Structure formats: C-alpha cells, structure tokens
A and B are shown apart, each in its own frame.
Chain A
Amino acid sequence: MSDREIDQQLVERAQRGEKRAFDLLVAKYQRRLARLLSRFIRDGSDIEDVTQEAFVKAYRALPSFRGESAFYTWLYRIGINTAKNFLSSSGRRPVVHSEFEDEDGESFDLASQVPDFNTPETEMMNKEIVATVNAAVEALPEELRTAITLREMDGLSYDEIAKVMNCPIGTVRSRIFRAREAIAAELRPLLDTAKNRRW
C-alpha cells in the first residue's frame, strides 16, 4: 500500500470518528508542515501555534475531504491559508510569499531548504536530535547502517535494497527495523527530556 493510500486509510478512519487515526497524521506531518510554515512566519512559537491551528482546521474540514488530492497537499493548503490569516490578523508580513500561490503540495517540500527561524531553544533541540541520530546511525553494524541509509536517504524499496545488498527481502525488512529500533533507543532519553522540559 502506497504512502498516499496509507494516508487515505487514516483519513477514512478519522472520518468515521476515530480520532487516534488523525493523531497519526499529526505525528507524521507536523514537522513537514512546520517547515513549510517557516517560509511565512518568522517566530518559532508562532510556527508551532499555526501548525497546531492548521491541524485543528483540517480535522474540522475532514468531512469535505474526498481524497481527490493527496492528504498532505490538502493539509498544506490549509496550513498556508491559516498562516496567511494569522499574518493578516497580527498585521505582520510574511517572510516569503511569492512562489506559493500556484504551487501544489508536492513542491512545498522545498521549504526544508530555507533558513531556520527557530528559537535558540528549539534550534538547540534540533541539533541534539540530529547529532543523536547521526551518532546512532554511525554506531550501527554496517549491514543495518547500509539498509537504513538506502531506505531513508536514497528512498529505495525493499526489493531494490535486497538486490543492492544481495540478501532476501525479509532480511532487508528486519535490518531496517532493527536499525530504527537502535536509533530510537538512543533518541528516547532526549525526547523524554524534551517533553518534560517543554510540557
């Protein structure tokens, strides 16, 4: 099942009243949406507020979502409108605004290439997460490191990775899972600390 189909499944569950399905969409897209919104909004805490607001608006609008576009395209459109409303109501100018008018959701990922306007605290947290993940990846046994890198960085399918690594698909699946678990184990203390610190 493709990524888009998985999103559609989650949306349909949420449309049937399963709020936890919508939580999974929030977990999946919150950082990408925040990166997009950072092209409009300078302040880090405002970005989080608008991200939050956009998800709530998306939830309210779920009955009208019919799956004609990808969920994230639809979500990003809501995010942009929410950001514009926020900026106009607060009398602020957008950081960047010109190239968004005619673009669809797919091209919004370019937002990851723009400068970060995080607060010093969130910037430090970002750096810690990246450093922890990088260190954990470096510490992995070679076959796990290769498998997770081919998957996450190069976007290869399990079948392609199996050919590259000359092993069965089941082994690829297992290696990628073990790599993720090993990295997550390193990340958890940091995330727990961050949770306690921020919430």
Chain B
Amino acid sequence: MKETISALMDSELDGQQSQKAIGAICADEGLKRAWDEYHLIGEAMRSGSHLSVNVSRQVADRLAEEPTVLAPRRWFAPIRTRRAGAVALAASVSFAAVVGWQQLSHNGSPAGMMADRGVPVAAQAMQDRDDLYLSAHQEMTADQSVYKVSYGNGARR
C-alpha cells in the first residue's frame, strides 16, 4: 500500500485508485506517517528550509476541540442532469416559437381562413336572425305605431 501512496503523491493514480488510497491513509496511522515522511523527503531534496516545522499534532489537538465542519452539499444538480434540463427547456422554447410563428405569419393557410370566416359566418347568421326579428317586430308594431301615432296625433290634436 505504501507504494500506492508514493504513486499518489506523484499524481500517478487515476481517480478511483486515488480515492481508495486517500481513504486508506485516513484510516491507517502507519500510512499517514509514510505520507508525512515522503513529503518531507521531497522538500528536503528541493529546499532545505523550515523542514523542522511540525505543527501536525498541535493542529490536530486544536481541531479535536473544534466542532466538526460539515459543509452543505452543493445545491446544483450534476452536470448530466443540468444538461438534460437545458435541452428540455430549449426544446420547449423552440416548439412555442414555431407554433407562435405559424399562428402569426400563416394567415392564408386553411386554418387561418377557417378562423377568419368563422366570425363573419356567425355574425351573418346572427344578423339574419335579427333582421327576421326586426321585420316581424315592425310588422307587429306597424299597426301599433299607427295607433300610437293616431293617439299621439289625436292627443295633440
């Protein structure tokens, strides 16, 4: 396992192997010590200053007194889900745009003509019905008007 940690430090493991190795180091004091030593060796070979600094134990002691941090999980969905949502949204917008465009720009189409004729046809039928009603009314009231007129005229007279 120590060889795996050595490779982990050199960024030579893939994601899954790295996860496994990190988990192993966190769980094993001996592996953690190897992690410490290997880092120290690299720094000693490269720099040579502040190598004796070792605050690991003090920090660990202080963190033991700290409440455990628990960062909230990120609110956004995984990339794949977000991508699917974006595609669905784009499709909906496109569909609405196409339907709207057809409604507005295709007045000469059969659907438009039917819609256009619908209103006059209904209005014509209504007008014909009103005419019948009015003519009947006029027939009825013609006599009355005579009487009324007569009455009016007579009254005035």
Task: Give A residues with C-beta under 8 Å from B.
Answer: 1-3, 5-6, 9-10, 13-24, 26-28, 30-32, 34-35, 38, 47-48, 51-52, 55-56, 59-60, 62-63, 65-66, 112, 116, 118, 122, 125-126, 129-130, 133-134, 137, 148-149, 151-153, 157-158, 173-174, 176-177, 180-181, 183-184, 187-188, 191, 194-195, 198-199
Contact = CB atoms under 8 A, between A and B. Distances in A.
A151 B107 CA distance: 75
B69 A27 contact: no
Interface in B51-108: 51-60, 62-64, 66, 68-72, 74
Interface string B5-34: 011101111110111001001110000101
A19 B63 contact: yes
A126 B56 contact: no
Interface stretch (B36-44, B109-117, B121-129, B137-145): B36-44
B14 to A, nearest CB: 7
B128 to A, nearest CB: 74
B53 A21 contact: no
B18 A9 contact: yes
Contacts of A183: 41
The main secondary structure of chain A at its interface with chain B is: helix
Contact of B43 (A31, A134, A199): A31
Given A30-B55, A35-B49, A122-B52, A173 B11 contact: no
A152 B51 contact: no
Contacts, number: 189
21 contacts: A1-B18, A10-B22, A20-B26, A31-B43, A32-B43, A38-B50, A52-B59, A62-B71, A112-B47, A118-B49, A122-B52, A129-B52, A130-B44, A130-B51, A151-B10, A152-B41, A153-B46, A174-B3, A176-B10, A184-B41, A187-B40
Contacts of A157: 10-12
Contacts of B47: 35, 112
Interface of B: 2-3, 6-8, 10-15, 17-19, 22, 25-27, 32, 34-60, 62-64, 66, 68-72, 74
A18 B26 CA distance: 8
Q: Which 3 A-B pairs have the closest CB atoms?
A: A125-B52, A15-B71, A63-B71
Contacts of A125: 51-52
Given A30-B55, A63-B69, 5 more contacts: A5-B15, A26-B59, A63-B70, A63-B72, A149-B45
Contacts of A187: 37, 40-41
Given A1-B15, A173-B3, A187-B41, A6 B8 contact: yes
B69 A177 contact: no
Nearest to A29: B39
A188 B45 contact: no
A184 B6 contact: no
A199 B70 contact: no
B101 to A, nearest CB: 42
Given A59-B66, A152-B46, A2 B10 contact: no
B13 A1 contact: yes
Given A1-B14, A15-B71, A173-B7, A180 B51 contact: no
